[in-house]
A and B are shown apart, each in its own frame.
Chain A
Amino acid sequence: SQQGEEDPQALSIQEGENATMNCSYKTSINNLQWYRQNSGRGLVHLILIRSNEREKHSGRLRVTLDTSKKSSSLLITASRAADTASYFCATDVAGGADGLTFGKGTHLIIQP
C-alpha cells in the first residue's frame, strides 16, 4: 500500500539554488524518513524525524513535519550537481505492522 506521495514528481533547478520537495501521507505515523536513490539501485537514508518533532537539520538538509496536515518537506540548500538523484519519503504506520512504506519519489536534477 502506498502511504506517502512526493510532490513534485520531477524538479530541475540551477546549481546553488535551494530545492524543496514535499511528502503527504494518509494515516498516523510514528516516524517519517527521507531517502535518496542514485541510478535506480540501493537507497541511502538521509534523515529520520519523529512524530513529536517539527523540524530537523542535517548539514544542508532541513526536514519539517506537520502531523496536523500529514505532510513533510525536505529542503536541500545550496544545491550541487551531485545532489541529482531521486528522493523518497518513507513512513511506518502507527500501531500497524506494514513495515516501511515509500512514496513514488521526486526526481531532482541539478543543472550545472
Chain B
Amino acid sequence: GAGVSQSPSNKVTEKGKDVELRCDPISGHTALYWYRQSLGQGLEFLIYFQGNSAPDKSGLPSDRFSAERTGGSVSTLTIQRTQQEDSAVYLCASSLTSAGRTEAFFGQGTRLTVV
C-alpha cells in the first residue's frame, strides 16, 4: 500500500555521465508522469505513459533524455551525457486512470546535481 517511490532520492554525477532514475508507481495505476522542477520554478512536463505506451513525448528536452515503462509498472528515466543544466528535481507521479481524470500521486523526487 505504499505510495509512489522514486530512487535514488539524491544523485550527484559528473558532467558527461549517464544517469538512470527510477519510479515505482502505485500498484494498479495506469497513468505515469515524469516532471522536472528547477529551483523555485514550476513543474516542466517531460513525458506521460498510459500503460506501457507513451502518447506524449513532446516534453523531453533533448534526445539525451529517454524513458521507458515495462509491464505497466516501473518506469525509468535515462539522461545520457548529463549537462549542468540537467540539474533539477525529477518528479514522478501516477494516477488510477488517464491524464487529469483522477488525482495524481507524487513521489518525493530525485534531486539530480551535475557537477
Instruction: Give residues in A with beta carbon < 8 Å to B.
Output: 1-2, 29-31, 33, 35, 40-45, 48, 88, 90-93, 97-105
Cβ–Cβ < 8 Å partners of B71 in chain A: none
Number of B interface residues in the complex (CB < 8 A): 33
Q: Mark B8-50, 1 if CB is under 8 A from A, else 0.
A: 0000000000000000000000010101010111110101101
| With A40-B89, A42-B109 as contacts: A102 and B43 at CB distance below 8 Å | yes
In contact, A42 and B107 (Cβ under 8 angstroms)? yes
Cβ–Cβ < 8 Å partners of B4 in chain A: 42
Closest 8 CB pairs of A and B: A92-B100, A99-B48, A104-B42, A45-B103, A97-B55, A42-B106, A102-B43, A43-B106
Cβ–Cβ < 8 Å partners of B43 in chain A: 43, 88, 102
| With A42-B109, A97-B55, A99-B56 as contacts: A31 and B48 at CB distance below 8 Å | no
Instruction: Give residues in B with beta carbon < 8 Å to A.
Output: 4, 31, 33, 35, 37, 39-43, 45, 47-48, 50, 55-56, 58-59, 89, 91, 93, 95, 99-109
How many Å lie between the Cα of A51 and that of B48 in the bound state? Answer: 22
| With A97-B48, A98-B45 as contacts: A30 and B100 at CB distance below 8 Å | yes
Cβ–Cβ < 8 Å partners of B40 in chain A: 40
